Structure 1
Amino acid sequence: MRLGAFANAALGLALLWAVQPAFAQQQVTRYVRYAYQGAISYGELEGETIYQLEGDIFSDHRRTGKTVRLSEVRLLAPVEPSKVICVGLNYRSHLGDREPAPYPGLFAKYPTSIIGPEEAIVMPPDASDLHYEGELVVVIGKRAKNVSVEDAPEYIFGVTAGNDVSERVWQRQDLQWLRAKASDTFAPIGPVIARGLNYNDLLVQTRVNGEVRQSERTKDLIFDIPTLVSYISRYVTLLPGDVIFTGTPQTTRAMRPGDVVEVEVEGVGVLRNRVVAAGSEPDARRGDNREPTTEGN
């Protein structure tokens, strides 16, 4: 078995394990974006089979009739956003002694921060205190501007898992959080976009080298997801494929090169990434502008 096939076979087991029986009665569709035989496609994932799609997943799309096994592809970040909006301090368990803010605290990452499952989180050479932040990530499905809280669910396409990688020293020292939050590879997302889940009550869990570091349900968000979408749309026009990191629970700790970080969102699956030192892997990021292969990272 090829290295890439082995890695994705393990990922497939993680995906299946994460889809709990409680969701069996829900009409949940799981979309993936993947590289296979030199091409990048979208598909619908059912069990271990991907059904290739044509068209725009956010509007008119259909199955092509072609299928491929999950173990034969390389999963990519499930969406290519024009904007990556993030919310800070949105769980009481993450506030410490601070009081909740009267409105959501927003910041942004860049599209170049985005990486997918099994891609490497690259620790810059001058970083010294790099932390994980496991989060539920919202994927926008249609153009949203000045939408109400009541109408906000109509603009949400689905959800995925994300890791708001953060350099704490830079957060404290820099004028803004550009380096600390928006450096390349600092926004892993994936492995799928799940459409049809009750995103207001999902378990978000982060593990480092198998040890549980964070675990809390999205029902504990200070500002719930419809509120976030409505609030952000007052100031920023959200487009199909844009993503919103909704906040991280509890406390975080520093990561080191070699650590394996897993963010699991109930009903979505497990997002797995390894931390590497800058320059230690010649193709650590594997951006989508490179020729797709089925080899592992």
Structure 2
Amino acid sequence: MKYVKLLRNGQPVWGVLQDGMVRTLSKPPFEALCYDGESLPLEKCSLLAPCEASKLVCVGKNYYDHIAEMRSMLDASHNPDRPTLFLKAPNALNGHEGNVHAPDFVGRLDYEGELAVVMKRCAKDVSADDALDYVLGYTCLNDITARDIQKEDGQWARGKNMDGFAPLGPLVTDEVDPDHLSITTRLNGRVVQQSSTELLITNVRKIIAFITASMTLEPGDVIATGTPAGVGAMLPGDTVEVEISGIGVLRSHIV
């Protein structure tokens, strides 16, 4: 299935995408699909971030090449013996084709393209073998970061959590294998990140097991699995695209 979340008559609704048409739902698709009898073409939809996140749990160091580039850029990053987690709050969520604006005091704004996981069931102490049973599907995420603020603060909360700093979408699908997906980030049409989830240090199943050993994931929560090497700066006027095979292209506009 392919799911989208859209704005209809000023209200957010979920829908199922089939052959370019969105069949809308009367409630989120976590327990069952309850169609409301309406549909509309995808091109007529104003897409929202396809989640109901109480939190976004992010993995900070999950590709060896990104760890190496961060060591050279600004910190003493090391190869972790376990996932490095941080949180993004719901205020950071942004949709496909959304605008991203950093406060004037931000000196460097970076893109970070990555695979995101949207949960469909309450998950606590989940085993890696059972982990994918708790997943609604997979989508694209841009973990936008105020890099200079991250460095100045010495921790990640403020630099990662400014309004609109988590574009997500355009859709969520369960029709892909999270272990074998290509990830491409483009800045103004130029490829700046190119990798595969085959290179994740900790794969999706193990990430879910690791997180839920410590905290409960709720239906609609998001896991961001980490970014590969190639992160870099964005400026007002730039367009950033995160494309993941089998999912689609998430596009954001820096203003």
Question: Which TM bucket (shorter chain)?
Answer: over 0.9
Work out whether 1:72 is the aligned partner of 2:44. yes
Corresponding residue SS for 2:35: strand
What is the deviation of 1:175? Answer: 4.0
Equivalent residue for 2:251, pick from 272, 275, 288: 272
Aligned residues: 248
Say whether the 8 Å CA contact 1:123–1:257 is kept in structure 2. no
**Identity of paired residues, percent?**
40
Match of 2:157 in 1: 178
Q: Deviations over 1:74-101 (max 9, x none)?
A: 1111112001110011011212165421
Say whether the 8 Å CA contact 2:13–2:27 is kept in structure 1. no
> For 2:9 and 2:67, how far apart are their aligned partners in 1?
46
Match of 1:284 in 2: none
Match of 2:25 in 1: 53
Corresponding residue SS for 2:249: strand
Say whether the 8 Å CA contact 2:52–2:219 is kept in structure 1. no
The two structures, once aligned, show a CA RMSD in angstroms of: 1.3
> For 1:58 and 1:221, how far apart are their aligned partners in 2?
27
Structure 1 33/107 Cα, relative in aligned 2: closer, same or farther at 3 Å?
A: same
Say whether the 8 Å CA contact 1:205–1:263 is kept in structure 2. yes
Match of 2:190 in 1: 211
Corresponding residue SS for 2:6: strand
Say whether the 8 Å CA contact 1:36–1:72 is kept in structure 2. no
TM-score (norm: length of structure 1):
0.81
Moved over 3 A (4+): none
Work out whether 1:250 is the aligned partner of 2:229. yes
> For 1:210 and 1:274, how far apart are their aligned partners in 2?
12
Q: Deviations over 1:28-48 (max 9, x none)?
A: x11001113344321111232
Equivalent residue for 1:142, pick from 113, 121, 142: 121
Corresponding residue SS for 1:123: coil
Deviates further, 104-113 or 192-201: 192-201
Match of 1:168 in 2: 147
> For 2:62 and 2:221, how far apart are their aligned partners in 1?
19
Gap runs ≥5 in structure 1: 1-28, 277-297
Match of 1:133 in 2: 112
> For 1:219 and 1:204, how far apart are their aligned partners in 2?
10
Q: Deviations over 1:191-239 (max 9, x none)?
A: 0011131111111110010000001110110000011000011111100
Gap runs ≥5 in structure 2: 72-76
Structure 1 88/82 Cα, relative in aligned 2: closer, same or farther at 3 Å?
A: same
> For 2:14 and 2:219, how far apart are their aligned partners in 1?
15
Say whether the 8 Å CA contact 1:76–1:117 is kept in structure 2. yes
What is the deviation of 1:61? Answer: 2.0
Equivalent residue for 2:91, pick from 95, 109, 112: 112
> For 1:47 and 1:124, how far apart are their aligned partners in 2?
40
> For 2:53 and 2:211, how far apart are their aligned partners in 1?
15
Q: Deviations over 1:113-144 (max 9, x none)?
A: 00101111111100011100000001111111
Match of 2:168 in 1: 189
TM-score (norm: length of structure 2):
0.94
What is the deviation of 1:152? Answer: 1.0
